[in-house]
Structure 1
Amino acid sequence: MLMTPGPTAVPEPVRETMSRELINPDVDPRFREIYDRLTERLATVYGVDAADAAGNGASRDVVVLGGEGILGLEAAVASLVEPGTEVLCLSNGLYGEGFADFVGSYGGDPTLVAAEHDEPLPLDALDDALAADDADVDLVTMVHCETPTGTLNDVEAALDRIEAAAPAALTVVDAVSSLGGVEVPTDRIDVCLGASQKCFSAPPGLATAAVSDRAWAAMEARDPHSLYANFLPFRDVSDGFPYTHLTTEVVALDAALGLLLDEGLDAVRERHAAAAARCRERGAELGLAPVPDPERSSPTVTAFEVPGRAEALRERLREEHDVVLATGLGEGSEDVLRVGHMGHNARVDRVEEAMDALAAVL
């Protein structure tokens, strides 16, 4: 049983869809119909499919690129950063720090505003960085769910500060591990990133984004040089896609989103919350503590502290119980064991089976 925080288990109806005859995305008009339906379904999940009566709604263009979720992070930077672009990278984890690396590689000027990986986002330090005399911030990046530690960050509090102190600054949020299982404030984000293999329970291979008008304008002004790590060619695909799209992954994600929306977003989020709560209850019974405090732990993943034992426990779970969990990443690789209760796996019965196995090997 696969209980990792991505890739997640793919339900049978999605696997059946993938087994159907291949559609050529370059010549078969059916593919465009599927892609359009997919982006409409994604807009509903992002919460950007409607405007208010005054026309001021959360409307965003939703695009789907062919590539694993990390492509979205790089494409956001490649599309918005050029030499001299001032970027604040707000971070309390591995992926938040990774944004600064991307910014540097595309010639931008990153300022890492960082906290320890088990701490909240450093909002006071963000205030200081925004208020600095020489601050001329073009872009701010952050991560909603830092999967390596199971932390759900308060991005709304960060957005409040950015909107007040630097309203012209664009915002990029990695919501790869939260979108679909947790509500994301996409209407306040210029580029909100997702991926197929997390809460959607489709195979890895697609990066998604909801992009604001002002982000599009910034991209057009910069004229990104990359073809592949570039959102612009996907803004208007009426005359075709910039490259042969990943047909099987597109139909799979479309099917997976159909299941999610049939269930209802509120019900899906409640299911994630119930699975997370039960996982942590079982962990407490076993003497295991989550890495962040429970109030900051994500409904999509729980990271337990197991100092020096993570790899050994993971191997025993796989070999003795056919349960696959994930260790931590980077510095936490030997000290953290992660249970992915996201997407199809956000079910109490699956959590119980995984935690029964963990109890047996502790």
Structure 2
Amino acid sequence: MLTDYQLLRIPGPTPIPPSVERAMMKPMIGHRGNETSQMIQTIKPKLKKVFGTAQDVMMITGSGTSGLEAAIVNVVHPGDKVLVVATGVFGNRFTKICEAYQINVEEFAVEYGKALDPEAIRAHVQANPDIKAVFSTYCETSTGVLNPVGELAQAVHAVSEALVIIDGVSCMGGVETKMDEWGLDVVVTGSQKAFMLPAGLNFIAASERAWKVIEANPQKGFYLNLTKYRDNIAKDTTPFTPALSLLFGLEQVLENFEKEGLENVYARHQLMRDMTRAAFKALDLPLFTSDQDGSPTVTSVKPTDFDAEAFRKEIKSSFNLSVAGGQAEMKGQIFRVGHMGYCAPTDVLQYLGAMEIALIKVGKNIKLGAGVAAAQQVYLEGAK
């Protein structure tokens, strides 16, 4: 096997396009100079389009989790009551961050592999009028579920003044987001997934309603104080030293989005999802989510007649192809395939072909080529 050859098909970090790698290799510049301000001016309107908002999108140097923490510490106070809709491990992460700030958390647990039910959340919020905020993942990375966050916001706002705060880390840039139209109050995403960058940047936007709450909050922290980022981004700068190499890359990513067209980016992710799911069905691999709930960025399988971890080890050793395993209570029970960002239908056909060989090697009785053929058929139908 080639020593430097690897295929990364996990739900993040994801492969980086060569054009973005080249952009990140630009010589360093002063972070308070005109060049940086001009770059931020270029970035700002393009980020707004990805978020579907008229609000400025703030850029914070830090992982996606730091963005989730910023959303929490700016919006709610210690002792406030909030509702976390937990459809998996990363929904539960909201709970853990809230507890670290002595926030009164109620967790609305949803069966792993299923999307949230907006009407059930509406009823719960209506029965608990002291809830100040509702938190949910958009794509639950740990299960491959895409939650109907627009419907969630509509349901919550129909009965409550609670803010709706969304973790979009593992899908934004790969699925359509209409923050303003859907009534989302705070939306967070990260750089290392469908944005095709290394980890280290997160992006946050807040609604006018959310800003009123944030401005009235006396305990917003220091580094994660969103009013500092808002005031600085309005002047085409950042309150603290930004990760400039990642901003170089982000500028290129957004240019790539523009060239492809966001509607085509989203259609490509949908096609890759459909190809992958059709292939797994043809190979008799039990999908962990329904077609309706399955995310365009990650697909999960819960095998019944072979060991998920043995399969992951086999495909890694044979092809240096990395797919993700399960987390928390799903550890060892599922495997997850990322198909987002710098990924095309040809990549889907490649990993499916390798997977078929690995499946036979771990004892799964399949017909070679069945999965690839099913994916090819989906591609042909989608390309009409």
The verdict on a shared fold, with TM-score over 0.5 as the criterion, is yes
1:149 aligns with 2:143: yes
Instruction: List aligned pairs for 1:128-167, cutoff 5 A.
Output: 128-132=123-127, 135-166=129-160
Match of 1:9 in 2: 15
1:37 aligns with 2:30: no
Instruction: List aligned pairs for 1:333-352, cutoff 5 A.
Output: 333-345=331-343, 347-352=344-349
In structure 2, distance between residues paired with 1:114 and 1:41: 35
Match of 2:368 in 1: none
SS of residue matched to 1:15: helix
TM-score, length basis structure 1: 0.92
In structure 1, distance between residues paired with 2:67 and 2:119: 28
Change beyond 3 A, Cα 1:82–1:295: same
Shift of residue 169, structure 1, vs aligned partner: 1.4
- Native 8 Å contact 2:36 2:237 kept in 1: no
Shift of residue 66, structure 1, vs aligned partner: 0.3
1:113 aligns with 2:108: yes
- Match of residue 205, structure 1, among 200, 204, 211: 200
In structure 1, distance between residues paired with 2:211 and 2:226: 9
Shift of residue 240, structure 1, vs aligned partner: 4.9
Which deviations, in whole Å up to 9, do the C-alpha atoms of 1:269-299 show, x marking residues without a partner? 1111111111111111221122111111011
Match of 2:256 in 1: 259
1:284 aligns with 2:281: yes
In structure 1, distance between residues paired with 2:262 and 2:347: 20
Shift of residue 17, structure 1, vs aligned partner: 0.7
Q: One-letter code of the match for 2:278? A: E
SS of residue matched to 2:83: strand
In structure 1, distance between residues paired with 2:28 and 2:317: 36
Match of 1:358 in 2: 355
Shift of residue 225, structure 1, vs aligned partner: 4.2
Q: One-letter code of the match for 1:236? A: D
In structure 1, distance between residues paired with 2:43 and 2:286: 39
Structure 2's unaligned 5+ residue stretches are 1-6, 360-384
Shift of residue 214, structure 1, vs aligned partner: 2.1
Match of 1:310 in 2: 308
Match of 1:52 in 2: none
Shift of residue 257, structure 1, vs aligned partner: 1.5
Match of 1:83 in 2: 78
- Native 8 Å contact 2:112 2:143 kept in 1: yes
Which deviations, in whole Å up to 9, do the C-alpha atoms of 1:90-146 show, x marking residues without a partner? 2211111221221222122111111111223144442332222x5212111111110
Pairwise CA RMSD:
1.6
Q: One-letter code of the match for 1:325? A: V
Count of aligned pairs between the two proteins: 348
- Native 8 Å contact 1:17 1:251 kept in 2: yes
Instruction: List aligned pairs for 1:122-271, cutoff 5 A.
Output: 122-132=117-127, 135-166=129-160, 168-187=161-180, 188-237=183-232, 238=235, 240-271=237-268
Change beyond 3 A, Cα 1:268–1:240: closer
In structure 1, distance between residues paired with 2:281 and 2:129: 45
- Native 8 Å contact 2:37 2:236 kept in 1: no
SS of residue matched to 1:351: helix
Q: One-letter code of the match for 1:171? A: V
Shift of residue 320, structure 1, vs aligned partner: 1.0
In structure 2, distance between residues paired with 1:196 and 1:182: 15
In structure 2, distance between residues paired with 1:221 and 1:109: 19
Change beyond 3 A, Cα 1:185–1:44: closer
Match of 1:298 in 2: 295
In structure 1, distance between residues paired with 2:166 and 2:52: 15
1:320 aligns with 2:325: no
Q: One-letter code of the match for 1:43? A: K
In structure 1, distance between residues paired with 2:256 and 2:118: 37
In structure 2, distance between residues paired with 1:311 and 1:281: 22
SS of residue matched to 1:217: helix
Shift of residue 229, structure 1, vs aligned partner: 2.8
Identity, % of aligned positions: 32
Q: One-letter code of the match for 1:15? A: E
In structure 1, distance between residues paired with 2:69 and 2:145: 22
SS of residue matched to 2:295: coil
Structure 1's unaligned 5+ residue stretches are 49-58
In structure 2, distance between residues paired with 1:341 and 1:322: 16
TM-score, length basis structure 2: 0.87
In structure 1, distance between residues paired with 2:42 and 2:219: 28
SS of residue matched to 2:142: helix
SS of residue matched to 1:293: coil
